[in-house]
Structure formats: C-alpha cells, structure tokens
Amino acid sequence: MKLINIFVHVIAIFAFLTIGSLMIIVSLHVLSMEDALLKVQEVYENPWQSFQMGVTGVLFIFVGLIFSKMLVKGTRKEDDLVLYGKWGYLSVSIRAINDLVRRVLRKFDVVREIQLETDAQASRLKIVANLSVLSGWNLPELIHAIQSDLTERLNKMLGGEIELELIVNVIKIIEQPMVSGRV
C-alpha cells in the first residue's frame, strides 16, 4: 500500500472515530455546550494539558483500532480461503466454491450424487469431486467435459492465476431404471 493511501486511511479513521464520539456525547447530553467551550479554552491555554489530551486521544484511537481489528477478524468465517492470484490476495469461502462446483455439476443430467473435498494452499486450489453417475455414458468424455466446465467457471470466479487441481472420480455407477410401457 502506498504511503499516501495509509495516510488517507489513518485520517479517515480519526475523523470517523472523532465525529462518532462527538455525536454520542451530544446525543446523551453528557456535556453542556458552555462546559465544552470552557474545557476547549483550557486545553488551548495550557500546553501541558494540550499534550496530555493529545496522548490520551491517541491512546483511545489505538484501543479503538485494536477492538475494530478484533471485531473484523472475529466476524470472518473460519472456512475462508486466502488465495494469491493476479489481483493479489483473494478471500473466498469454501462454501462459495463448493456452491459453484455443485451448480456446474447439476447441469449434467447424468450426475446423481456429489461429494466434494476442497483444499487450498497459497496460490493452489485442489478440488476432489466424487460422483455417482447413471450408466450408459462414456466416462472419460464425461469427466473431461466436467473438468473443462469447472476449470472455466472457477477461473472466471478466481481470476485465472490460481493453480487448479481438479480431480473427478466416479465412485458409483447407477443402473438406469427400465421404463415399461403399457399397451
């Protein structure tokens, strides 16, 4: 991050924290306007009190930032993956990836059951799809079609620089039920 961006973020944080604190103080009627003006006048007249107020303000801001960081980390789900791609670091949930894979696999009418395992390390994503399919299909051709569709959709989602390892296993072949016609 550039130095100017860091500076802009710090100033924005200070501004929002200050304005928010002021709004809370005003709304709760904690301090009257006359008392606030007298306190500000005292701070401006005494350099030591001004320094003390500034240090206390910085301390409160750092504590607020620490709590904010803890809150953001606490709300982030444990199943998020952090991958490094052409756009830099990318945070994607395993659930979003699995939903995309399931959506692609549901396009194929022959796929009946899906079991997924997803694993990620740095810029590498490994997905193992164990499938149950209907009998009567050319399995190598089906697996190739599934892998190419999955690769295309995942590259669109993740940006293309992520190394994908797709393993599609057909673990069960289900016999198609015979349809008997009544005459």
Q: Report the CATH number at residue 109.
A: 3.30.70.1350
Residue where a domain stops, chosen among 75, 101, 127? 75
Average pLDDT, the chain: 78
Q: Tell me whether residue 179 is in a domain.
A: no
Residues 65 and 95 in one domain: no
Residues 22 and 41 in one domain: yes
Residues 87 and 115 in one domain: yes
Q: Tell me whether residue 180 is in a domain.
A: no
pLDDT on residue 27: 76
Q: In total, how many domains does the chain have?
A: 2
Residue where a domain stops, chosen among 43, 75, 107? 75
Provide the pLDDT confidence category of residue 74 given band limits of 50, 70 and 90.
low
Per-residue exposure over 163-177, b if at least 16 CB sit within 10 Å of its own CB, e if not: eeebebebeebeeee
Q: Tell me whether residue 13 is in a domain.
A: yes
Provide the pLDDT confidence category of residue 122 given band limits of 50, 70 and 90.
low
Residue 21 structural domain: 3-75
pLDDT on residue 183: 45
Residue where a domain stops, chosen among 75, 100, 124? 75
Residues 93 and 157 in one domain: yes
* Beta-ladder partners of 127: 118, 166
**Hey, CA dihedral for 71, 73, 76, 78, is it positive or negative?**
negative
Residues 85 and 170 in one domain: yes
Residues 164 and 90 in one domain: yes
Residues 96 and 164 in one domain: yes
User: What percentage of residues in the chain have a pLDDT greater than 70?
Assistant: 81
Residues 84 and 64 in one domain: no
pLDDT at 131 over 50: yes
Q: Average pLDDT, stretch 159-183?
A: 73
Provide the pLDDT confidence category of residue 29 given band limits of 50, 70 and 90.
confident
pLDDT on residue 178: 59
Q: Tell me whether residue 27 is in a domain.
A: yes
Q: Average pLDDT, stretch 27-52?
A: 82
Provide the pLDDT confidence category of residue 124 given band limits of 50, 70 and 90.
confident
Provide the pLDDT confidence category of residue 87 given band limits of 50, 70 and 90.
low
pLDDT at 161 over 50: yes
> CA-CA distances (angstroms) from residue 120 to 79, 136, 142?
11, 34, 25
